[in-house]
Structure 1
Amino acid sequence: MDKFLSRIALIDPAEQYDKNLLSPLGTAAMLYAKANLPVFPLIPRGKYPLIPKRLGGNGLHDATTDSKQIAKWWAKSPNANIGIRTGVHEFTKDKALFVIDIDSDKEHQNNGFLAMTTLADRHGPEWLDTYSVQTPSGGLHLYYWLDASIRLRNTQDVLGLGIDTRSDDGQIVAAPSVREDGAYTIREGALLAIAEAPRWAVQKLVERERKREEVAMQFTDFVVASQDQASRALQDACNELRQNKGGINSELHRKAYAIGGYVGAGMLSFDEAFRQLAQAAVVAGMPSRSASYTANRSLKEGARHPFRQGSQSRAATTYPSQQMWRTKAPTTQPEAAKVV
C-alpha cells in the first residue's frame, strides 16, 4: 500500500504524457486500485460522476479495482478526476476506507480546523498522523482504515462543527484531481501510509449508530402496536355493524369515518377496510350498493383526518354533517377506490 501512495505523491496532473499511455490522473487511479481502493471517473475539473445516469452511470456504485475498466475510462477521458468509494463494499477485504473531512470555512463558525484543534488537545495529536489530502478550498481529508465489521454511516458535524465523515456509501475526490480553484494535493509532511481509525472517533460514531438503532426499534414496535390497534378497531366496528338493528346507514358512516383515520395514518389497507365494513353492513341488512357507496365515501373522508397515536379516540370524533351523504346512490356498485 505505502509504495502505491508514494508513487501517487510524485504524479503531476499537468505533466505531458505519451498519448499511448495512461494520463497522470489515469495512472493515479490505477495506483489507488492496486491499493484496493475502488475508483470511478469524475467530470474533468469537477466532483460529479463522469457517466450520467441517462447513460447507465451509477455514481460511486461504478467504483472498481478492475485495471481493464479503469484503463478504458481514463483512455477515453484522460483528464477525468478521481472518485474513491469509501466504507464497506464488494471489494472490501478485512478493512474499509474511513475518511474524516475537515472543512475550512473560515468566514463562518463551521470552520472544522477549530474543532480539529480542540480534538487534538483532548485526544492527543497522534490521530492526525495519516495519509492526508489538502483540498483546493483549504480543507483536509484524513484517510484511515476501519475494521470491516464496523458499519458506519456518513455524518456531518457529529465529531465536531465543520467535521464530516465518509464511510459506507460515501465518496471522496482523490489527489491529484484538479478543480477550477486548484488541485487536491497530498498534505506536506503527511504520512504516505493510511493509519488505523482513531479509537475515540470510532467509539463516538458507533455509539451514535447504537442510539439510532434503538430509536428505529422503538419506531418498529410503535408501528406494529399501531397496526394491531387498527386491526382490533376494524374488527370491533364490523362486529357492532353486524349486530345493528336500525339506522344502519348512519352507523356505517360513523364507523367507516372512524376507521378511515387508521387508513390515513397508514395503519390499515383501504381496500381491506372497505371490504370488511361493506360486508358487515350487508349482513346487517343494508343493500349492497348502498353499503359500498357509504363505506367508500366515509372511509375517504376519515382518511383525510389521520389518527395520531396519543390523540383522543376516534370514537369521540365529531363527524361531518350527514347532509353530504344524502345524495342519490350510484346505479352501479362502485369499486373499492384508493385513498386520494
Structure 2
Amino acid sequence: MTTARLSGQVRLRAARARTWRRTAPPRLMGHALAAARRGMAVFPLWPRSKTPSLHGRRDCDGTGVCSAGHLGWEQRATTDPDLIRHWWSESPSSNIGVACGPSRIYVLDLDTAHGEQAPEPWTGARHGRDVLAQLAEQAGQPTPATFTVRTPTGGLHLYFRVPADSPLRNTTGRVGWRIDSRGQGGLVVAPGSLRRNGSYTVAHRGPIEPLPAWVADKVAPPLRPEPEPEPLAPTTPLSDIRRRRYLETVCAGVAHAPPRTAHDALVRAAYTLGRLVAGGEFTDDDARASLHIAAHHRRIPAHEADAAVTDGMTAGSRYPRQLEDRN
C-alpha cells in the first residue's frame, strides 16, 4: 500500500471520528447525560411511563450485575456516561428516572388541584405551590427557589440537595395539601421524558439548592411514642382463625385508606405487624405478603411498598408484643 493511500485512510478515519463527536446523541440519551452531569443518578423507565424498565427481583436470574445478589433500579442508577449511552442506545425511547437517594437530592412534588376543593386550612389554594407559599410565610421564610421541573399535568418538582446519609424518605400529604415528596427509596421522572399527555420540562434552570431546614422539619418522620410495657402475666393466645382475622383487619386499613394517605397507612400497618412478628404471632413472610397484597390493591408502586414495609417492620421489631384473647 502506498504512503499516499495510507495517509488518505488515516485522514478519512479522523474525519469520521470528528463527525461522530459532533453528532448529537439521541434526544432522550442527551437529556439523561445532562441529568448525570448535574450529579443525578439515572436509569431507564419504560417509554412514556414512570415505571422502571430494569428487571425486578421476581424476574432476576442472578447473573450479570446481579451475580452477587439482586440489584434494583436504586442500586443500578448511575452517572456513568458510558453506561447511560449503552442503555439509551439499546432503547432510545426510554424515559429517564432519577434515583433520589443515590443522587443526594430530595424532591417536593407540588400537584394541581385537579378540580378538588382545598380543605382547611388550605382554603383557596389551587395548587401545591400555593400551600408551599403559605407554609413558607408561616415559617417566616421565602418560598424556596431551586432547580424546578414542570410535569405534563401542570405539577412542579422542586429539587434540593441533601447529605448522602439523609434519612428523609417519601411522603404523601405530610407537608400539606397536594404536596408529596421523594427521597431515599424514591424516584422522579427527569426533564425531557415524555408521557401521553406531554413532556417534563425545566421550569427554573437555577442550581439545586440545599433543602431548607424548615422544609426538612416538615418531611421528617414523626417520632414514635415508646410503647407501653407489655404485661408479663400469662395470656390466652388467639386461635389461628382469629389471628388471621386480625392480620386481615390491619391490612384492610391499607387497602381502604383515604386518598393520599395510603403510604403512611402502610408504614403504620407494617410497624404494627413488625411488633407481632417479633413477638412470634406471625411469620415475617405472612406479614409481608399480606401487606404487599394490600399495597397492590391500593395501587402503591411495588418499589415504594417494599421500602415502606421494610421500614415499618424494622421499627416495630424493636418492640415485640403478642396478641391475647380478651374474651
Task: Give the TM bin, normalised by the shorter chain.
Answer: 0.5 to 0.7
Q: 2:170·2:185 contact (CA, 8 Å) conserved in 1?
A: yes
Alpha-carbon distance in 1 for matches of 2:280, 2:96: 48
Equivalent of 2:213 in 177, 199, 204: 199
The code of the aligned residue for 1:164 comes to D
Q: Is the Cα contact below 8 Å between 1:135 and 1:183 reproduced in 2?
A: yes
Distance 2:206 2:113 in 1: 26
Matched with 2:110 is 102
Question: Which digits, 9 at most, give the CA deviation of each residue in 1:53-108, with x for residues without a partner?
Answer: 36548344431222222111100111111100112x4xx6xxx2010100113301
SS of residue matched to 1:147:
coil
The structure whose Rg is larger is 1
Counterpart in the other structure of 2:65: none
Partner-residue secondary structure (3-state), 2:138: helix
Q: Post-superposition shift, 1:50? A: 2.0
Tell me, yes or no, if structure 1 residue 169 matches structure 2 residue 169: no
Rounded to whole Å, the distance in 1 between the matches of 2:188 and 2:214 is: 22
Choose from 23, 28, 33 the match for 1:30: 33
Q: What secondary structure, in the 3-state scheme, does the structure 1 residue paired with 2:93 have?
A: coil
Pair 115,67 (structure 1): closer, same or farther in 2 beyond 3 Å: same
Assess, with a 3 A threshold, how the Cα gap between structure 1 residues 269 and 40 changes in structure 2: closer, same or farther: closer
Given that residues 262 and 268 in structure 1 are in contact (C-alpha distance below 8 angstroms), is that contact kept between their aligned partners in structure 2? no
Task: Letter of the 1:135 partner, please give it.
Answer: T
Counterpart in the other structure of 1:154:
170
Mapped to 2, the partners of 1:65 and 1:119 lie a distance apart of: 34
Residue segments in structure 2 that go unaligned for 5+ positions in a row: 1-19, 61-70, 119-126, 244-275, 283-320
Q: Which amino acid aligns with 2:79?
A: T
Residues of 2 paired with 1:29 and 1:307: CA distance? 50
Mapped pair 1:112 → 2:95:
no
Equivalent AA in structure 2 for residue 117 of structure 1: A
Which AA in structure 2 matches 1:144? F
Q: TM-score, normalised by structure 2?
A: 0.57
> For residue 64 of structure 1, what is the aligned residue in structure 2?
78
Structure 1 distance, partners of 2:322, 2:42, is 49
Q: Residue in 2 aligned with 1:46?
A: 49
Distance in 2 (CA, whole Å) between partners of 1:307 and 1:58 is 34
Deviations 1:171-230 (A, max 9, x none): 00010111111110111xx24210111221112333x34x1xx34xx34x75xx46xx3x
Which consecutive unaligned segments of at least 5 residues does structure 1 have? 1-16, 234-257, 271-305, 318-340
Q: CA deviation at 1:35?
A: 2.6
Q: Structure 1 residues 66 and 191 mapped into 2: Cα distance closer, same or farther (>3 Å)?
A: closer
Would you say 1:80 and 2:84 are equivalent positions?
no
What percentage of aligned pairs have identical amino acids? 30
Q: Is the 8 A contact 2:44 2:87 kept in 1?
A: yes
Secondary structure, in 3 states, of the residue corresponding to 1:261?
Answer: coil
Q: Alpha carbons of 1:173 and 1:164: their partners in 2 closer, same or farther (altered >3 Å)?
A: same
1:141 aligned onto 2:149: no
Conserved? CA contact 1:47–1:81, under 8 Å: yes
**Quick check: 1:261–1:307 contact (8 Å CA) kept in 2?**
no
CA contact (8 A) 2:281 2:323 kept: no
1:283 aligned residue: none
Partner of residue 130, structure 1: 146
Equivalent AA in structure 2 for residue 35 of structure 1 = R
Contact 2:44 2:97 in 1 (8 A): yes
> Over aligned residue pairs, what C-alpha RMSD do you find?
3.3
Distance 1:130 1:307, change over 3 A: closer
One-letter amino acid of the counterpart of residue 143, structure 1: Y
TM-score, normalisation: structure 1:
0.55
Structure-1 residue corresponding to 2:238: 261
